Structure 1
Amino acid sequence: MTPKDSAPPTQTQPQVLCLTTGEGGTLAQALGLAEALQRHAGAHLIERRFAIRRWARRLPAAGWHRASSVLPFWPEVALQGGAALFAPLPGRGPVAVIGAGRHAAPLVLELTRRLRGAGRRVASVMVLDPDLPFNLFDAVVLPQHDGLSGPNVLPVLGSLGRITAISITQEAARQAPRFAHLPQPRLAVLIGGPAREVTWTEADSARLEQRLGALVAAGWSLMITPSPRSDPALVKRLRHTLPEGRCWIWDGLGENPYPAILGLAKAVLVTEDSVNMVSEAAASGRPVHAFRLSGRHPKMDRFHAAMLAQGAVRDYDGAIGDWSYRPLAETDRIAALLAARHLTPAI
């Protein structure tokens, strides 16, 4: 675990304590919400990372939660460097403890309990299904396409994240020289991979490869970023078949520049397998074209239907269209609600 505490807050400043594993979509969602609370509430942000010991990884969230009340030194013993996760917070301002996913859920509850025991005003906030009763938390932020509800549930369209319309504009300006060699018009291409909620076949990969070649032939320059789930063979074929002067493909080294790509593109083509990728593309305000795959879960059907209704996304039909919509800003919307409810000064 690596604590990431910045300079100390003032005595009464609101604080956001964000618990992450430092990886994957849960990091982007939890830290994105924490950063938005920093903006909306003037909060002091602390990120603390945790790593679960191998023998404890299969324990359900409910087991973790029950163990905290009966076992000494729990959950510290189940974590690597667990004591640092529960280090006291300075100051006396209100606190929001944020985590994402079932591994973080019992830790959010235990930190909340300890901080309240020390006399702090604390809100426990979970992003994604915690695999625990929702009423244990002050707020649970869930994708509306999950179809779950409750008195303290805050539904969101798509997913939370760190990418905003402002950060896209800033990164596009900063990295414009990197892509200056690509002629206009430019298309951002976000490629995912096989996932639990979709069926991705070899025929889908071949069709994607063919469509990208056709877009180049039609005059588009492509800025392509694969994801960790992308098929390496597909990416290798794209590097071999697409002309270098009209195509840039991220090599996976260093930070992914795709916020800049979104800002420098006239439109976006994104494979439909990732709620996060589609949601982040829709933060750009650019027309987002979803590349359909062979099959998808009803939950993904609900998500894409909602994005279609919102006006951000349309199914890719072989042509790149042009339309406008209000950029998706769900993370800031939720942060504003939480700041008003939980991080305002006590009266």
Structure 2
Amino acid sequence: MESPVNALPASPLRVWVVSDGRAGIENQGLGLAEALGALRPIALSVKRIGWRGQMGALPWWLNPAPLRALAPGADIAPPWPDIWIAAGRATLPLSLRMRRWSKGQTFVVQLQDPRVPAGAFDLVIPPKHDRLQGENVVPIVGAPHRVTPARLAADYARFEDQLALLPRPRVAVLIGGKSKAFGLSAERAAAMAHEIELPVAQEGGSVMVTFSRRTPDDAKALLSARLRHLPGLIWDGEGDNPYFAFLAAADYVLVTEESTNMTTEAASTGKPVFILKMEGESLKFRLYHEELERLGAARPFGGAFHSWTYEPLAETERAAAEVLRRFDDRAGNG
């Protein structure tokens, strides 16, 4: 029997990616949608939602008429999509009603742990370290993302003039910032800069540094000042972000421990990934990092670089294949 993920439908599947527009959240949905598009023709629409007044701060059950409560510009209206991919707490008032609104025609996928019964959706795709289980739950290592060999190659080509002549080893340094469990003070940033600077200088290598929107200004300034004397490139936030190009050019990747997105993306390259310690502790993140170590993808950074090989993570592709399999089973196409 022909595999359902390769059976071409008569017309593209209409796929919506719905979020509050935050890049880290939206990119998870886009990553899954793009992986679907690699298996099947899709017509993709990106929907960024907001709520009027204080509705966005309320629990989903206190938003009884969400279509009327949406802020202008959300564009959530029929005809409904074939596949709805949503991520983030803000989408719950809509996701929980989509199957009823579409009379069961829309296949509803919710990313992350929605913290409501998983049976309210057709499929929930949480990170494995959230320890969520159920018949319609497909846990994955980390989070869906947009890193593919083609994307890395294309972005490297855009920045090749700035990166090709950097001395090896080239070290991509991906710095996140404050989260519920972790922090990055100026003191920790100074220590981190020292930990990075010494082995890069000893090996005659270079750094490629990028910061997230969550990086505190003082930590960003301190890391930039301490690493600026090394060969390399430090993205200052102006112009196009060379993040994917850095991953493509890197021999090693350093990434702060609080970011599921960045560690998963780094581990999808097949390159050695080292986890940079921040301030704080989290059982969930410890389980996540232990899983990455078990898979051979990442190790704690101990102040020195070394190489190893592993099978690049392909969890986004696995999740996309499972979405299509279940979509086809429900439609009777399996």
Q: Is the structural similarity TM-score above 0.5? A: yes
Counterpart residue type for residue 289 of structure 2: H
Q: Is contact 2:89-2:114 (8 Å) kept?
A: yes
Counterpart residue type for residue 109 of structure 1: L
The 3 A distance-change label for structure 1 pair 225 and 147 is same
Shift of residue 302 of structure 1? Answer: 0.5
Q: CA RMSD in A?
A: 2.1
Shift of residue 195 of structure 1? Answer: 1.6
Q: Is contact 2:47-2:74 (8 Å) kept?
A: no
Corresponding residue to 1:341 among 323, 326, 329: 326
Q: Which residue of 2 aligns with 1:30?
A: 29
Corresponding residue to 1:79 among 70, 77, 90: 70
Counterpart residue type for residue 259 of structure 1: F
Corresponding residue to 1:276 among 242, 246, 261: 261
Counterpart residue type for residue 23 of structure 2: G
Cα displacement string for residues 23-75 of structure 1 (whole angstroms, at most 9, x for unaligned residues): 132111112111211222222212222111232112212333xx1xxxxxx22
Cα displacement string for residues 152-197 of structure 1 (whole angstroms, at most 9, x for unaligned residues): 1110101111122332233223321122342222100001112212
- Tell whether 2:218 aligns with 1:233: yes
* Paired residue total: 323
Q: Which residue of 2 aligns with 1:305?
A: 290
Q: Which residue of 1 aligns with 2:190?
A: 206
Corresponding residue to 1:323 among 297, 308, 325: 308
Normalising by the residue count of structure 2, what TM-score does the alignment of the two structures yield?
0.90
Q: Which residue of 1 aligns with 2:133?
A: 149
Query: Secondary structure at 2:143's aligned position in 1?
Result: coil
Q: Is contact 1:200-1:295 (8 Å) kept?
A: no
Residue correspondence of structure 1 range 255-294 to structure 2 within 5 A = 255-294=240-279
Counterpart residue type for residue 337 of structure 1: E
Shift of residue 84 of structure 1? Answer: 2.6
CA distance in 2, matches of 1:116, 1:244: 61
Corresponding residue to 1:314 among 281, 299, 308: 299
Q: Which residue of 2 aligns with 1:57?
A: 56
Shift of residue 244 of structure 1? Answer: 4.8
The 3 A distance-change label for structure 1 pair 203 and 114 is same
Corresponding residue to 1:102 among 58, 81, 89: 89
Q: Which residue of 1 aligns with 2:6?
A: none
Residue correspondence of structure 1 range 151-190 to structure 2 within 5 A = 151-190=135-174
CA distance in 2, matches of 1:154, 1:202: 39
Query: Secondary structure at 1:160's aligned position in 2?
Result: coil
Deviates more, 1:269-278 or 1:253-262: 253-262
CA distance in 1, matches of 2:154, 2:326: 30
Q: Which residue of 1 aligns with 2:99?
A: 112
Q: Is contact 1:165-1:327 (8 Å) kept?
A: no
Q: Is contact 1:144-1:155 (8 Å) kept?
A: yes
Normalising by the residue count of structure 1, what TM-score does the alignment of the two structures yield?
0.86
- Tell whether 2:243 aligns with 1:224: no
Shift of residue 240 of structure 1? Answer: 2.7
Counterpart residue type for residue 14 of structure 1: L
Shift of residue 124 of structure 1? Answer: 0.8
Structure 2 spans left out of the alignment, 5+ residues: 1-8
Q: Is contact 2:207-2:230 (8 Å) kept?
A: no
Query: Secondary structure at 1:153's aligned position in 2?
Result: coil
Q: Which residue of 2 aligns with 1:7?
A: none
Shift of residue 331 of structure 1? Answer: 0.9
CA distance in 1, matches of 2:265, 2:245: 12
Query: Secondary structure at 1:317's aligned position in 2?
Result: coil
Shift of residue 202 of structure 1? Answer: 4.0
CA distance in 2, matches of 1:319, 1:83: 48
Cα displacement string for residues 241-282 of structure 1 (whole angstroms, at most 9, x for unaligned residues): 334560311111233211110110111011111111111111
CA distance in 2, matches of 1:264, 1:106: 42
Shift of residue 98 of structure 1? Answer: 1.0
